[in-house]
Structure 1
Amino acid sequence: MPNPQLYVDFNEMLEPDLVLLSAEDTKRDVAGALVQLREAMAIDVYMDDVNERGEPDNLVASGRVEKNQSTGWGSNARWCCRIDEHGIRHQSDLGKQD
């Protein structure tokens, strides 16, 4: 079964590999289905972006759900996504040799 694809705002990074995910225990995926979030759940996250020609080219990453431990500006969220070693990339770069 593929990982749920969930929207995030990559401008809300708490750490270089940690992005805010949700203030609730559920979040709608790209297809509109309600996803129950849980610790260590594998997910894919994305954010709208465009390439240099103005064409859609989402920013994407994969990672795992974790409880938010932040005490700062992002403390209102319950869940975050810890982004894996591949980091944040453009969708058009997936599958290209590193």
Structure 2
Amino acid sequence: MSRLHADFNGLFGDLLCLSHADTCEDEYGNEVPLHEGMQATAFEPDIDGGQPDDLIASGIVVRSPDWLQCNGSRWALRIDKNGVRHQSEIT
């Protein structure tokens, strides 16, 4: 499963905008081609109390719906039942 960098300001319910292009940067800075049905975990670095504690969300990559495409989004992550959480919350 790919771990993709995302801006969680682009969170709309269970959809998180991943990219305005056909690729997204992974945790190592590599460009990853996106495709429908791809399983992925999105992350955004977060400092909590001075300690790194990334925001994360897992799910399936989907084409952005029309209402999100008008803002330039091409691909989104449909977030699974675990929702958005901090890395430290995963046991």
Q: TM-score scaled to structure 2, two decimals?
A: 0.90
Offset, 1:7: 0.9
Specify the alignment match of 1:64 in structure 2: 60
| Residues 40 and 18 of structure 1, relative CA distance in 2, 3 Å threshold | same
How many corresponding residue pairs? Answer: 91
2-structure distance, mates of 1:5, 1:74: 26
Give 1 or 2: higher helix fraction. Answer: 2
Give 1 or 2: higher strand fraction. Answer: 2
Match of 2:6 among 5, 8, 13: 8
- Superposed CA deviations along residues 11-58 of structure 1, whole A, max 9, x for unmatched, are 1112x110111011111211122211000100010011122x221111
Contact 1:68/1:75 (<8 A) preserved: no
- 1:1-98 equivalence runs, <5 A: 3-14=1-12, 16-51=13-48, 53-71=49-67, 75-95=71-91
Structure 1 residue runs of 4+, over 6 Å off?
A: none
Q: Which runs of 5+ in 2 are unaligned?
A: none
2-structure distance, mates of 1:22, 1:31: 16
Give the superposed CA RMSD.
1.6
**Matching residue's letter, 2:2:** P
Offset, 1:91: 0.4
- Rg (Cα) greater in structure: 1
Offset, 1:71: 2.2
- Residue identity over aligned pairs, in percent, reads 38
